Amino acid sequence: MTREVYRSANGKIVDMGALRLQNEKVRAVGNMKVNARGDEINELGQVIRKKTEQVNKQYQKQTKVTRPSSRRGENDI
């Protein structure tokens, strides 16, 4: 449970952590086609690709980049 409890301007208590957890699978507002967690969803609201899969794919993409050898004179013509 999170400790993100705030008091509104009207004096009502709002638990933002509980509110966030309650709505994490609801489609987010905007044009990105994601839910509140960041999962990619289709028009019906079904998860196509989870956020963890997206992050892992991007991480794998970044770690595959290799740098050329910095040794001089090996392949000089």
| Measured distance CA(50)–CA(3) in Å, rounded | 26
Give every CB contact of residue 55 below 8 A, 6+ residues apart in sequence. none
pLDDT surpasses 60 at 76: no
pLDDT surpasses 90 at 67: no
Chain segment 25-53, per-residue pLDDT in tens: 899 888 999 998 999 999 998 999 999 99
Mean pLDDT over 3-16 rounds to 92
Give the global pTM: 0.57
pLDDT at site 73: 60
pLDDT at site 1: 54
pLDDT at site 20: 87
| Measured distance CA(56)–CA(31) in Å, rounded | 23
